[in-house]
Amino acid sequence: MNAKHWILTAALLAPAAIHPARADDELSKRIAACTREQDDARRLACFDRAAAPAAAADNTFGVHGSELARNRAADDPKQDTIPERLTAKITVIEKRARGELVVTLDNGQVWAQKEVGAYFPLAVGDPVTILAGTLGSHRLIVGSRATAVTRVR
């Protein structure tokens, strides 16, 4: 490479090399502050908050575990359990361009079908159950039919 390429490469990589050092320094300060906590549960909650910025959510069902962990208060034991199911009624049904259904529930949550499969009958007012699965997956169940969904809102 000639001198111009070296100068350009150095100029482009310099900010990338400096910024992570600042972020790591801030992270290490937040983690160091948590090591002073004596109570195990509070220390773990402090580490969770230090490692990931807080996200605002009023209803945690359908939110991935890492986001849920960020929202937990250290001293609120009733938030330590993640709901396994949600039951609601359909208020709005929409269809995306590729055919996936988008369902709005009476609690304000919006769920989208992950992929278009066979015919999946839905009607406004139908009661639905959404079950939490492994690794953050969710299934929307209507009657005896189920489909994989993800929470949009």
pLDDT digits (tens, 9 = 90+) for 3-59: 665 665 666 566 555 555 555 677 777 778 888 888 888 877 787 777 665 333 335
Residue 123 is predicted with a pLDDT of 92
Residue 63 has pLDDT above 90, yes or no: no
Q: What number is the average pLDDT over the span 64-71?
A: 49
Tally the residues of the chain: 153
Residue 137 is predicted with a pLDDT of 86
Domain boundaries, the chain: 3-79, 85-151
Q: What number is the average pLDDT over the span 46-74?
A: 55
Global confidence as pTM: 0.49
How far apart CA 43 and CA 72 sit, in angstroms, is: 13
Pairing between β-strand 127-132 and β-strand 101-105 as defined by DSSP bridges: unpaired
Buried b (16+ CB within 10 A) or exposed e, 32-48: eebeeeeeeeeeebbbb
112 vs 76, higher pLDDT:
112
Residue 34 is predicted with a pLDDT of 80
How far apart CA 60 and CA 66 sit, in angstroms, is: 11
pLDDT digits (tens, 9 = 90+) for 85-143: 889 999 999 998 888 999 999 989 999 998 887 778 899 999 999 998 888 889 999 98
Q: Note whether 105 and 111 are within 8 A (CB).
A: yes
Residue 39 is predicted with a pLDDT of 84
Q: What is the CATH number of domain 85-151?
A: 2.40.50
- Residue whose structure tokens are 């991935």: 64
Q: Note whether 124 and 93 are within 8 A (CB).
A: yes
Nearest Cα to 145, choosing from 114, 123, 122? 122
